[in-house]
Amino acid sequence: DAKTTQPPSMDCAEGRAANLPCNHSTISGNEYVYWYRQIHSQGPQYIIHGLKNNETNEMASLIITEDRKSSTLILPHATLRDTAVYYCIVRLSGNTGKLIFGQGTTLQVKP
Amino acid sequence: DAGVIQSPRHEVTEMGQEVTLRCKPISGHNSLFWYRQTMMRGLELLIYFNNNVPIDDSGMPEDRFSAKMPNASFSTLKIQPSEPRDSAVYFCASSFLSHMFTEAFFGQGTRLTVV
C-alpha cells in the first residue's frame, strides 16, 4: 500500500471550511484514498473514500488531483465536534481490508 | 446492531499477570482486526482474521501476545505475561471483506494499564 504524508496539525475557525491535505505521490492506479478520523478516546471512524473522481457525502468532500498524487478532505462548516485526528490511508479496495494508519493530522477547531 | 463491542473498557493489572481482551464484531462481518495505540507509535495493526482464520499476525509484538477467533462472533487478544510497556489502548475492528469497498467499524477500545 502507498505511503501518505500529512501535516501534523492544523487549526480551523468554527463555521469555516477545514481543508486537510494529503500527499500520496506513489499511489498506483487501482489504489483508493480513504479518510478516517479519531475523536479523542474513541475508535477511528470512516469518513469518505475515492478513486479518482471527487466524492461528497453527508460528512465531507474529497478532492483528488488529476494525477492522483494528492488529495484534500474538506469539512465544509467545521464545528467544535470535528476536533479530531484525521487519517489519510491509501490501499487497494477489497484487498484484505486491513488499514495501515500513519500519524494523521490533528485538527483543532476553535470558537 | 450495537456495533463492535469490546470488553473490558478499562483494565489495570500487575506486571506478570495474564490479560485477556475481548471483542464481539458486527454480525455478518467476516474480517476482524486488532490494533494497539500508544502515543509513541500511534495506531498499529497487530493481527487480522478473515473468516475466523488468522491471515497476517506480523504486527504481533512477541510471543507473549496471542489472538484467537473461535467463531464469527467472538475474538480474544491475550497477553501472558503482561509488562508495563504493553500499556496502551487496544482496538478491535470488523468489516465485510468483498471485492468492493470495505469500511471498517471500530470498537470503543480497551485501555490497558500494566503496573
Say whether A94 and B95 touch across the interface (CB within 8 A).
no
Which of B38, B60, B106 to probe by mutation at the A interface, max A CB count within 10 Å?
B106
- Residues of chain A positioned with their CB less than 8 A from the CB of B107: 43
What is the nearest CA distance from B106 to chain A, expressed in angstroms? 5
Give the pLDDT of residue A41: 83
- Residues of chain B positioned with their CB less than 8 A from the CB of A104: 42
- Integer Cα distance of B5 and B97 in angstroms: 19
Give the pLDDT of residue B103: 85
Closest chain A residue to B91, measured at CA: A43
Average pLDDT of B13-33? Answer: 96
What is the nearest CA distance from B7 to chain A, expressed in angstroms? 14
State the average pLDDT for chain B. Answer: 94
The DSSP element (H or E) to which B80 belongs, if any, is: none
pLDDT at A96 over 90: no
pLDDT at B2 over 90: no
CA angle A69, A2, A66 (to 5 degrees): 20
**Percent of chain B clearing pLDDT 70 (strictly above):** 96
Closest chain A residue to B55, measured at CA: A96
Closest-CA residue to A75 (of A66, A84, A67)? A84
* Residue B86, φ and ψ in degrees, nearest 5: -80, -5
Secondary structure class of B66 (helix, strand, coil): strand
Give the pLDDT of residue A44: 95
Average pLDDT of B62-88? Answer: 96
| Cell numbers that stand for A9 in this block | 496539525
A57 confidence band (pLDDT: 50, 70, 90): very high
Give the pLDDT of residue A9: 97
Question: Which of these ranges, A43-47, B19-23, B95-99, has the smallest mean pLDDT?
Answer: B95-99
What is the nearest CA distance from B113 to chain A, expressed in angstroms? 15
- Integer Cα distance of B104 and A93 in angstroms: 12
A42 vs B: CB within 8 A = yes
What is the nearest CA distance from A16 to chain B, expressed in angstroms? 28
Give the pLDDT of residue A16: 97
Give the pLDDT of residue A98: 77
Of B35, B100, B108, the CB nearest to A42: B108
B43 vs A: CB within 8 A = yes
Mind listing the pLDDT tens digit for each residue in A75-87?
999 999 999 999 9
Mind listing the pLDDT tens digit for each residue in B77-114?
999 999 999 999 999 999 987 766 678 899 999 999 99
Give the pLDDT of residue B59: 92
Say whether A99 and B106 touch across the interface (CB within 8 A).
no
| Chain A residues 50-69 with a CB less than 8 Å from chain B | none
| Cell numbers that stand for A71 in this block | 488529495
Average pLDDT of A59-73? Answer: 96
- Residues of chain A positioned with their CB less than 8 A from the CB of B42: 101-104
pLDDT at A4 over 60: yes
The DSSP element (H or E) to which A57 belongs, if any, is: none
Give the pLDDT of residue A94: 54
pLDDT at A95 over 60: no
pLDDT at A93 over 70: no
Give the pLDDT of residue A65: 95
